[in-house]
Amino acid sequence: MMLREILRSCDSALRRREVTPFPDTDIAGIAYDSRKVGVGYLFIAIRGEKFNGIDFIRDVVQRGAAAIVYEQGDAGSGTPGTGPDSAVCFIRVANSRKALACIANNFYRRPSEHLTLIGITGTNGKTTSSYILKSILETGGQDVGLIGTIQYIIKNRIFPAVHTTPESPEFQGLLHDMFLSGCAVVVSEVSSHALAQYRVDDAVFRTAVFTNLTRDHLDFHKTMEDYFRAKERLFTELLHRQGTAVINLDDPYGKRLYLLLKGGSNNTITYSLEAETGADMIASDIADTFEGLRFRLSFEGRQYGISSPLLGTPNVYNILSAVGAAVSLRVPWEVILDGINNAENIPGRFEKIGAGQEFLCIIDYAHTEDALERLITTARELISSPAAKKEHGKRRDIPVEKHRPARRVITVFGCGGDRDHGKRPAMGAIATRLSDFVIITSDNPRSEGLLDIIRDIEGGVVGENYLVEPDRREAIRKAVDMASPGDIVLVAGKGHETYQEIKGIRHEFSDREVLKEIIRAKLTGRCA
């Protein structure tokens, strides 16, 4: 593709061209990682967490780069347009990340213009909402692409996810591949990092979903206001002018976003569990049992019976967000209802782990104070609900003398290293206040000392109903060993992840597989 075409409509990012006249160079590829530059490539020098691409100019020139985009004010090795790199076209821009997004969109031939792109953002619920929506769309016969925290899916092809929302060349490349593969619709989780770093800029979103906003990523955003402003961009800058915003009115930031958009050109669909909010979509008569959810959904004067195999009240919100997106795409209600019922357990999201035990084991990705509170509260509601007690009493696989209501919630959790320290004591307080017993352990300590992280968590505990076990496998084993019939064991923080990162090294570790192994060992009397 010719350089002029790649830079088309990127004028807002460009400041001054360093080479005059501007050559119409044929570009073989684009890259922001100097190691991926090939002959005839356009290299975009962006600022990363540890490095600045401008410092690798000499390297990319030696690799055969035909053109280099760099940010105004950057000074790296070598002076553009002189010496051995004089044949290379240098382009100075006001913001290299914005330029990268525009360049990537053009290079991959503006794929979102040929797709129906739905973006889902929020602190919690993005992944589950995206999978429910995918199930609804596929039930209606659509070929769907998915970009998210767990994996990237192009119809029936699955790729492991590197980031919730990848950098713009990978994001646009995925959209391009999805279009070529016949996908009509793409559901994408959109992280706050991606929005703050312009990774999805220049893509055209037809529907945008806001799930909620609670404390997270303040190591990056610094304040909740900055965090909200990043999320807001999806609705105020990237949503198509005739697109639809789907918003959770039970969330304070959701209300704020709704008021911000009210009266604008976009359509809105709001949802809530409270009729008093005046939301468009209301959930009521919620029955939460060990077997799944049932509730009544009211929309535009009609009521619909919802049945889902997913557990917990938070999933009522996730279902509502997916339904709102489906309604915005005019999916028939019979398809919506079947699609919700067809949605299976999402990996690592309130996922039941069973190996024949008489107590419930759940793994969940909850790694924020709000998510942990929702997780434990959901477990508490689940074991105390009349429906759950009735079902537990009817189970024929439990001896008669064990027909009794569930008793305790046992929580295993830790906090990640090199992230927001402020949430650690808050999570310690929530876990010990809401659980019957807590085992504080490791998560992904990364470069931090594990015991330092645990001490931060202990700074918030509100009782003596806990113990510290730094070894995550041993912590899970202790939780399983102390569980009695009817109890719930929660293993929080890592969910779908299959590793632990310690001192920069990723060690193989899956909560799912470790739990299964330990449960089987308990049932057979072996040591795990």
Contact call for residues 248 and 271 (beta carbons, < 8 A): yes
Structural domain of 265: 109-342
Radius of gyration of the chain (CA): 25
What distance in Å separates the CA atoms of residue 510 and residue 496, rounded to the nearest whole number?
A: 8
pLDDT along the chain (528 residues), means of 10: 90 53 81 95 85 88 93 59 64 91 97 98 94 98 96 93 90 98 97 93 97 75 86 96 96 96 88 96 92 95 96 94 98 98 91 91 92 94 66 42 63 94 95 98 95 97 96 98 95 95 94 96 81
Contacts of 89 (CB under 8 A, 6+ apart): 3, 18, 19, 22, 23, 25, 66, 67, 68
What pLDDT shows up at residue 156? 86
Domain with residue 419: its CATH number is: 3.90.190.20
Do 395 and 318 lie in one domain? The reply is no
Do 507 and 382 lie in one domain? The reply is yes
What pLDDT shows up at residue 393? 47
Q: DSSP secondary structure string, 191-249?
A: -HHHHHTTTTTT--EEEEEE----S--HHHH-SHHHHHHHHHHIIIIIEEEEEEEEEET
**What pTM was estimated for this model as a whole?**
0.88
Do 367 and 438 lie in one domain? The reply is yes
Do 114 and 251 lie in one domain? The reply is yes
- For 121, the 3-state DSSP assignment is strand
Do 182 and 268 lie in one domain? The reply is yes
Question: Based on the number of CB atoms within 10 Å of its own CB, is 363 exposed (0-12), middle (13-18) or buried (19 or more)?
Answer: buried
What pLDDT shows up at residue 22? 58
CA angle 29, 33, 36 (to 5 degrees): 50
Do 325 and 371 lie in one domain? The reply is no
Residue with tokens 């129906």: 116
Looking at 290, 311, 342, the residue that finishes a domain is 342
Do 438 and 313 lie in one domain? The reply is no
Number of domains in the chain: 3
Q: Under the phi-then-psi rule, with left for phi > 0, alpha for psi from -120 to 50, and beta for the rest, what region is 217?
A: left
Beta bridge partners of 121: 210
Q: Identify which of 434, 304, 453 has the alpha carbon closest to the alpha carbon of residue 373.
A: 434
What pLDDT shows up at residue 77? 47
Do 319 and 446 lie in one domain? The reply is no
Do 125 and 187 lie in one domain? The reply is yes
Do 313 and 361 lie in one domain? The reply is no
Do 269 and 412 lie in one domain? The reply is no
Do 358 and 411 lie in one domain? The reply is yes
Using CA atoms in the order 333, 334, 340, 342, what is the torsion angle rounded to 10 degrees?
-160
Contact call for residues 267 and 243 (beta carbons, < 8 A): yes
CA-to-CA separations, 122 to 128, 247, 345, 517, in angstroms, rounded: 12, 10, 20, 34
First to last CA, the chain: 57
- Give the side-chain half-sphere CA count within 13 A for 520: 9
Domain with residue 169: its CATH number is: 3.40.1190.10
Q: Identify which of 115, 112, 117 has the alpha carbon closest to the alpha carbon of residue 328.
A: 117
What distance in Å separates the CA atoms of residue 145 and residue 134, rounded to the nearest whole number?
A: 8
- For 114, the 3-state DSSP assignment is helix
Token pair listed for 56:
């690798």
Contacts of 257 (CB under 8 A, 6+ apart): 210, 231, 232, 235, 245, 247
Contact call for residues 486 and 402 (beta carbons, < 8 A): yes
Looking at 280, 311, 342, the residue that finishes a domain is 342
What pLDDT shows up at residue 80? 54
Looking at 57, 73, 106, the residue that finishes a domain is 106
E-strand ranges in 38-115 read 41-44, 67-71, 89-93
List phi, psi (to 5°) of 150: -85, -45
Residue with tokens 């942990």: 372
What pLDDT shows up at residue 405? 47
Contacts of 264 (CB under 8 A, 6+ apart): none
Domain with residue 92: its CATH number is: 3.40.1390.10
